Structure 1
Amino acid sequence: MDETAQMLARELVGTDHLARQALARRTMLIAEFAVNYSVGHDDVMPVLAERRVALGPGAPSVSEFTCLEVAGLLGVTPRAAAGMIADAVNLRHRHPGLYARMIDLAIEPDRACAAARKCQELPQEVADEVTNKWLKVQHRHAWTSAFNQLARLVTNADPERAARRERRLRTQLGVHVWGLHEGTMNLTGRLETLDARYLDAAVERIAEILGAEHPECSKEVLRARALGVLSNPARALAMLQQAAQPTLPAGRGDAESPLSCPGPLCGTITTPLHKLRPRLGIAVHLHVDALGNLEGAARVDRAGHITVETLAEALQGIDITVQPVIDLNDVPAEDQYVPSARLREAVALAAPHELFPFSGRTTPSLDLDHTVPYRARGPGQTRLGNLAPLSRLVHRAKTRGSWTVEQPRSMLMVWRSPLGFRYEVHPRAGTRRVVESPWSTPAELLRADPPRIRGLDAPVEIVRD
């Protein structure tokens, strides 16, 4: 055996151990930080008073603003930070056995937190019993297999509770299209069980039909295209009819517009299929040079950037409506408190996402906040240089003074957190932490003698000298 490979293997195992140790310590720190964090300011209006968020029976409540501070410190979205806090606090206080095994590095922190979520609705003593059984076998299985076994244990521990949870989840359905990546997007969702199986069968059938026309495509590609076909029900019906009855009576129709057919797929389509395509309101932004030539990538609203070549292929055969261009350098200020539709559109174009550290919330779902509070009778206060899209939680934190913000120029926000950390946020430049503390690097931060946490071989405890 090659000695270099053996040495690298030992190094790999050691690095993995250190990574688990770091993640375990981070989970411990988040749990303790959350229960110790508060923004204070009790003299604010009652409607702006700090709310405590309950994280489940047996777990302490935490400040609603904790996720904003953690988001900036760890460089994640506030929503992701809220999930990390809930996981860490839930694991620490509701599942002490699972938490202890994480500290011992017998289970990865991510897997421990996920297991705690699965047992969230069980009484604490039942949850401990379930996770103790699961801990004896989970390390022998990959993620999916391990959590399938945990799901079985949870169901068997309390079948009635599991049935109630299933009924509730059947009302929490949804389908989401997100994350542009090199000309493609992700599709995720939760459907009723039978609806999901019917959808899978429909995708499979249309993929078979497409396979005859595109034998060079893989099965996965054909299934993806088949789901796209289903977005135009008239086209899908025409394809299914044609496949079920390859030869129609003369003069009765063709593959593009079947007029009639016998059998279970019978239907009448008298309108050209391209006119039955669902209408899609979406804006595509292009840049041109002084000669009118396209330059750079195209930006698709609520999606991202794609090349002009991919855009041209995607728009083939699609009716397009061209809208007037909004020059962001020439958007007039307004005197009224509520921005006009044109100004709201300009803000959405200038700032597609929330102007808060590392936030990924999209502008259409956000409040438009005046950075400098609006005062009656003052002219020109509602303008690009004094507006920012903010979520309701961030808006509350700013209004009550927990987080302060300045807008030195249009779309540039400089935030200061309750702990004194400063962040510059810009739609194109992203988020930059402005260092004002003695800890300019992570290494220096660790050497700065902050409150210590006892070793991983004991329950976490804050120690102050």
Structure 2
Amino acid sequence: MEATAQRELAEDLRSAVTLRRVAEAGLLSSLCEFAEAYRVDAEDLLEVLAERRIQIGGEGTPRVSEYLMLELAGLLRCTPAAAGHRVVEALNLKHRHPGLFAAVRRCQIDADRALRAAVRCGALSQAAAERVTQEWFLRQGGLGWTASFNLLDKLVKEADLEAAAEKERKAREDRGVFVWGLSDGVMNLTGRLDVLDARHLDASVERMAEVIEGDHPGLTKDQRRAKALGILAQPARALALLQRAAQPELPPEGSEAHGERHGCPGELCGTVTTPLSRLRPKVSVAVHVHSDAVGRLTGLARVEQAGWITTGLLTELLGDADVTVRPVIDLANVPAEDGYVPSAGLRRAVCYALRHELFPYSDLRAERFDLDHTVPYLPGRRGQTRLGNLAPLSRRAHRAKTAGVWRSRQAAIDQIMWESPLGYRYEVSPSGTRSLE
């Protein structure tokens, strides 16, 4: 009886896998059909804002509406960028790999595996891409994930050796050093560091890349950053280069007075003769502490471009760092302005109130964009440029709003109500997006 029950559970699992494949195949098909059919009502649009059809996929994929990703973001409940990524992958699979797309619809292969395979063939022509994935499909069924894509990579390289060599060349050009992520007050490089230590390391690499730019004019910025990290692993050499940059009066490199090694005067190599404050990289780290925490340092602090940490850890991390305290911005008392372009102070206040673009499911940082008047600006009318009538919008969202295909109403300083061309409504605030349908 026990074996029979287990067999029934196993069959339920097999059925669930099949149902998942069916659902994913249906989602892909629906996504492609929606993308290919989507249009906005252009009757009332200005000619200059008429809907454009753009090609977002590879060779052989159809053109789609420039506003497609905005509508899809709400339907898929993801950012417009993520929606664009998904539709590009779906269209590439359907139109560049019709055989593989058909296999997905027949539930002979997982949609995710097929989509990944199509991406791996992005550099190939349409005909070569279809030929490669057809051969791969016939051989990948009994292989695990890693083995199957190792096989695909081999087939892709064999299909176009010149393209493979070019891809390798570009990979070498893209060398770089990057600091990313935050978890409990630490950031990632190759190990884990205190968040401010990581920011200082990133700034040191950036500074050294600037210092050596004249010595390596043929390298890109990212390649200089990679070389700069290697130099920072040699403290005496790094110190000499920093001192040379900070003290232009040092004798030119190669002269007898320049020193025996790395520009250091003989036995004094490694001695700091310039104040540390001049050699230390400047790192601008904005930290926001809630007014209730001032004086008590309890609760949380938000570190710009890093995330939230406890104020206790903030005290430890700041250590002997130079701290600049900016005046507190009281959002309730920021005055309205008459000019079309907001002042630096008003812009800073808007970005404090609205950290991200106020468009459904967008996570793009507010500082990247111009501030849009949610109620159109009329010359001669006073006080239109103010909190409550300004919102950061990306170019595509701003164009969609200006064209009237998306309608918006700013209900509060940090809240905008949106209606899509198909009539879907959303409420957007710093807390996120709420679908009203």
TM range (shorter): 0.7 to 0.9
The alpha-carbon deviation at position 12 of structure 1 amounts to 3.7
Match of 1:305 in 2: 308
C-alpha distance in 2, partners of 1:323/1:138? 60
Match of 1:73 in 2: 75
1:409 matched to 2:412? The reply is yes
Letter in 1 for 2:81: R
- CA displacement at 1:96 relative to structure 2: 0.6
Q: Which of residues 108, 111, 114 in structure 1 aligns to 2:113?
A: 111
Question: CA offset at residue 398 of structure 1?
Answer: 0.3
Greater CA drift, 268-277 or 79-88: 268-277
CA distance in 2 between counterparts of 1:41 and 1:108 reads 39
Letter in 2 for 1:87: E
Q: Are the equivalent residues in 2 in contact too, given 1:42–1:49 (CA < 8 A)?
A: no
Structural mapping, 1:371-450, within 5 Å = 371-427=374-430, 429-435=431-437
- Give the deviation of 1:230 after TM superposition: 5.1
> What is residue 134 of structure 1 aligned with on the other side?
136
The superposition leaves residues 112-150 of structure 1 with CA deviations (integer Å, 9 ceiling, x where unpaired) of 112112222322222122112211333444434432322
**Which sections of structure 2, spanning at least 5 residues, go unmatched?**
209-228, 237-258
CA RMSD across the alignment = 3.3
Q: For residues 311-336 of structure 1, what are the alpha-carbon distances to aligned partners after superposition, in whole Å with 9 as ceiling and x for unaligned?
A: 22322232221111111111111000
Question: Contact 1:369 / 1:388 at 8 angstroms: preserved in 2?
Answer: yes
2:71 partner amino acid: E
Aligned partners of 2:278 and 2:9: how far apart in 1? 61
Name the structure 1 match of 2:87.
85
Distance 1:21 1:46 in 2: 43
CA drift at 1:305: 1.6
The residue matched to 1:375 in structure 2 has which SS? coil
1:35-184 alignment runs, 5 A limit: 35-54=36-55, 55-167=57-169, 177-184=179-186
What's the CA shift string for 1:365-391, capped at 9, x where partnerless? 112100000000111100110000000
Give the letter aligned to residue 18 of structure 1.
L
Deviations 1:318-369 (A, max 9, x none): 2221111111111111000000000110111001100000001101111210
Please name the residue that 1:33 is paired with: 34
Alpha-carbon spacing, 1:225–1:100, altered in 2? closer, same or farther (3 Å) = farther
Amino acid in structure 2 at the alignment position of 1:311: L
Provide the C-alpha distance between the structure 2 equivalents of 1:63 and 1:347, rounded to a whole number of angstroms. Answer: 31
The 5 A counterparts of 1:215-234 are 221=192, 231=202, 232=204
Aligned-pair distance for 1:50? Answer: 1.1
Q: How far, CA to CA, are the matches of 1:74 and 1:172 in structure 2?
A: 32
Instruction: Tell me which of 333, 336, 340 is aligned to 1:333.
Output: 336
Instruction: Say if 2:368 is the partner of 1:365.
Output: yes
Find the aligned partners of 1:114 and 1:269 in 2 and give their Cα distance. 54
What CA distance in whole angstroms lies between the structure 2 residues aligned with 1:99 and 1:419?
A: 28
Equivalent position SS for 1:369: strand
1:80-128 superposed Cα distances (whole Å, 9 cap, x missing partner): 0001111111111111111011112222212211211222232222212
Give, as a single letter, the amino acid of the residue that structure 2 aligns with 1:104.
Answer: R
**Matched residue type, 1:157:** A
- TM normalised by structure 1 equals 0.74
Aligned pairs for 1:305-324 (under 5 A) are 305-324=308-327
1:388-419 C-alpha deviation (Å, 9 max, x unpaired): 00000000000000000001221210000000
SS in 2 for 1:388: strand
Change (3 A) 1:239 1:85: closer
CA drift at 1:273: 5.6
Matched residue of 2:371: which SS? strand
Cα displacement string for residues 287-314 of structure 1 (whole angstroms, at most 9, x for unaligned residues): 1328843343111112322222332232
Query: In the TM superposition, what whole-angstrom CA distance separates every residue of 1:25-73 from its partner, at most 9, and x where no partner exists?
Result: 1111111100000113155333312111112322111111111111001
> Taking structure 1 as reference, are residues 338 and 315 closer, same or farther at Cα in structure 2, changes over 3 Å only?
same
Kindly indicate whether the alpha-carbon contact (under 8 Å) linking 1:240 and 1:265 is maintained by their aligned counterparts in 2.
no
What letter corresponds to residue 111 of structure 1 in structure 2? R
Do structure 1's residue 23 and structure 2's residue 24 form an aligned pair?
A: yes
Question: Does structure 2 retain, via aligned residues, the 8 Å contact 1:286–1:298?
Answer: yes
* Greater Cα offset, 363-372 or 174-183: 174-183
- Helix, strand or coil for the counterpart of 1:384? coil
Structure-to-structure mapping, 1:177-326, within 5 angstroms: 177-185=179-187, 221=192, 231=202, 232=204, 240=234, 267-270=269-272, 271=274, 276-289=279-292, 292-326=295-329
Corresponding residue of 1:445: none
Distance 1:375 1:226 in 2: 48
Cα distance in 2 for residues equivalent to 1:72 and 1:313: 42
Percent identity between the two aligned chains: 48
Provide the rounded CA distance (Å) in 1 between the counterparts of 2:182 and 2:120: 30
**SS of 2:299 mapped into structure 1:** strand
Counterpart CA distance in 2 for 1:138 and 1:178 is 35
Q: Hey, what's the Cα distance between the residues in 1 that align with 2:415 and 2:197?
A: 43
* TM-fit CA distance, 1:282: 2.0
Give the Cα–Cα distance (whole angstroms) in 2 for the partners of residues 299 and 430 of structure 1: 17
Q: Secondary structure at the match of 1:39?
A: coil
Task: Name the SS of the counterpart of 2:285 in structure 1.
Answer: coil
Output the CA distance in 2 between the equivalents of 1:229 and 1:366: 27
Quick one: distance in 2 between partners of 1:36 and 1:159?
38
- The residue identity in structure 2 corresponding to 1:431 is T
C-alpha distance 221-175 of structure 1, shift in aligned 2 (>3 A): closer
The verdict on how the C-alpha distance between 1:238 and 1:373 changes in structure 2, with shifts beyond 3 A counting, is closer
Q: In structure 2, what is the Cα distance between the partners aligned to 1:38 and 1:176?
A: 40
User: In 2, distance between residues paired with 1:160 and 1:236?
Assistant: 31
